[in-house]
Chains A and B, each alone.
Chain A
C-alpha cells in the first residue's frame, strides 16, 4: 500500500466522522449545514483510479445518508460530482490538466478556486434538488443551497490551508 492510498482512506474516515459529529450540527441561521466531506472527492489524486473514486464517493455519500436518514441524496450528489470531476478539471485548468501536474492541495490560485467553486455548486445543486423533491419549496431550497454553498466553499478553503503539508 502506497502512502497515497493510506492518506485517502484516512481522509475518507476523518471527513465522514467530522461531518457527522461536527458539521451536521452547525445549522447556520437555522437554514443550512456545510458539507465539507466533499473535500475527499476534490482532493482525490488527479491521475487516480476513476472506478475507485466513483465507488468510494458513492459509499461516502451513502454513509452520510445513513447517519442523516436522508435516503440516497448524498450518495447521488457525491457520485455525480465524482463522475464529472475530469470535466471540471479540463474547464478550470485548461491545458495543464493533460500533463497531470495539478495539485489542488496548494496555494489558492484562480484556477483552483474555480475548480472548488464549481465542484461545490454541482454537488449542492443535486443535493438540494433531490432532497426536497417538491416544486413547492423550490425558492426556499435555492436560498438554502446558496447559503450552504458559500459556507461549504469557505470551510473547504480553510481546511485545505490548515491541512496543507509544510513547504518542501
Chain B
C-alpha cells in the first residue's frame, strides 16, 4: 500500500497530465462524431454574453449591407404580393391552424466562423424563444445551417460550411434530388452530390431544399450550379453550387420550426423499430 501511494505521489504530475489529456481527447473525438450533442459549446451564458457585447459594436459596421439585404427581401415579397391574383375575386380560403405547419423565429448571428473544416455559428435565441435542436436556419438569401446545441438564450448552429453538414436538396426546375455537402475548401461554394445522370443539368440552374426533411420547408433557395462534374465511379453528377448566402457576413436570420416535427419523428422511429 505504501509503495502504491509512493508511486502515485512520485508520478502525480504525469497522472494529472494523462487524466486531463484523456478528458480533452474524449471531447475532441466527441466533437468529430456525427449527431452527438457536445458537452462544451458556445451556447452558454458566458460566451453568449461576450459575443453579444462584441456584436453590439460590430453590428454598426455592416448596417448598410444588412439594410440592403432586407430591402431586397422586402422587394421580393412585395413582388409576390402584387402579382398574386386579386383576392377580391377569389373566395376566401381559410387555413386551419393545423395546416400552418411552419413557425418562424427571428434571430441574429452573434459569432460566425468560416475558416476551419467544422464551422459553427452562435445565434442569440435559445430555448426561451422556442428554439430546439435540429431546426433549420435560413437568412433572407437562403439556407444557413441547422441548430445543434441550445441553451436558455443562445444556440449554436452547424453552418453549411461544415464537413458534418448534410442536407437533402433538389434542382428547382426538374425536382431531381441530391445531397448538399461541403468539401472543406471554399467558403463560397457547397457541393451537390448523388444527382442521377438522367437529370438535365446546366450551369446556372437553381438548387433549393427538397421537401423530404422535417428540418426545412420545400423550395428554400440554396444556390446556383457553378460547375458540373461527373463521378466516373458511380455515374452520378457532382455539382459545384455557388451559395446565395455570403457565409462570411451573416446578420439577421430566421429559425424555422416545424410544428409537426415531433409527431413525424416519433412516427418514423416507431416504424423503423418495427422493422
Q: Which B residues from 81 to 101 make CB contacts under 8 A with A?
A: none
Instruction: Scan A48-92; emit 1 where CB is below 8 A from any B CB, else 0.
Output: 001100110010011001111111110110011001000000000
- Interface size, A (range): 35 or more
Cβ of A33 and Cβ of B24 under 8 Å apart? no
Partner of B42 from the list A55, A66, A76, A80 (CB cut-off 8 Å) is: A66
Partner of B187 from the list A17, A30, A55, A72 (CB cut-off 8 Å) is: A30
Cβ of A76 and Cβ of B21 under 8 Å apart? yes
Chain B residues with a Cβ closer than 8 Å to the other chain, count: 39
Q: From A62, which residue of chain B is reached at the shortest CB distance?
A: B40
A124 to B17 Cα, complex, angstroms: 19
Instruction: Scan A134-150; emit 1 where CB is below 8 A from any B CB, else 0.
Output: 10010010000000000
Q: Which B residues from 13 to 32 make CB contacts under 8 A with A?
A: 13, 16-17, 20-21, 23-32
Q: From B58, which residue of chain A is reached at the shortest CB distance?
A: A25
The answer to whether residues A70 and B24 also contact, given A20-B50, A27-B115, A137-B184 and a CB cut-off of 8 A, is no
The answer to whether residues A55 and B16 also contact, given A17-B50, A72-B26 and a CB cut-off of 8 A, is yes
Cβ of B47 and Cβ of A33 under 8 Å apart? no
**Interface membership of A99, Cβ < 8 A:** no
**Interface membership of B194, Cβ < 8 A:** no
A33 to B114 Cα, complex, angstroms: 11
A165 to B115 Cα, complex, angstroms: 36
Cβ of A50 and Cβ of B13 under 8 Å apart? yes
A150 to B247 Cα, complex, angstroms: 27
**Interface membership of B54, Cβ < 8 A:** yes
Q: From B50, which residue of chain A is reached at the shortest CB distance?
A: A20
List chain A residues, Cβ under 8 A from B117: 131-132, 134, 137
Chain A nearest CB, measured from B104 CB (Å): 25
Cβ of B115 and Cβ of A31 under 8 Å apart? yes
Q: From B54, which residue of chain A is reached at the shortest CB distance?
A: A21
List chain B residues, Cβ under 8 A from A76: 21, 24-25, 28
A6 to B219 Cα, complex, angstroms: 57
List chain A residues, Cβ under 8 A from B107: none
**Interface membership of A32, Cβ < 8 A:** yes
Partner of A51 from the list B13, B25, B41 (CB cut-off 8 Å) is: B13
The answer to whether residues A83 and B17 also contact, given A30-B187, A131-B116 and a CB cut-off of 8 A, is yes
Q: A65-B27, A66-B46 are in contact. List 12 more A-B contacts (CB 8 A).
A: A20-B50, A33-B115, A54-B20, A55-B20, A69-B120, A69-B156, A72-B24, A72-B25, A72-B28, A75-B23, A79-B20, A137-B184
Can you show 22 pairs from A to B with CB atoms below 8 A apart?
A20-B47, A30-B115, A54-B17, A55-B16, A62-B24, A65-B27, A67-B47, A68-B120, A69-B31, A69-B42, A69-B118, A69-B120, A70-B116, A70-B118, A72-B25, A72-B26, A72-B30, A75-B23, A76-B28, A83-B17, A131-B117, A132-B117
Complex A-B, nearest 7 residue pairs according to Cβ-Cβ distance, in ascending order: A71-B31, A72-B27, A72-B24, A76-B24, A75-B24, A69-B120, A72-B28
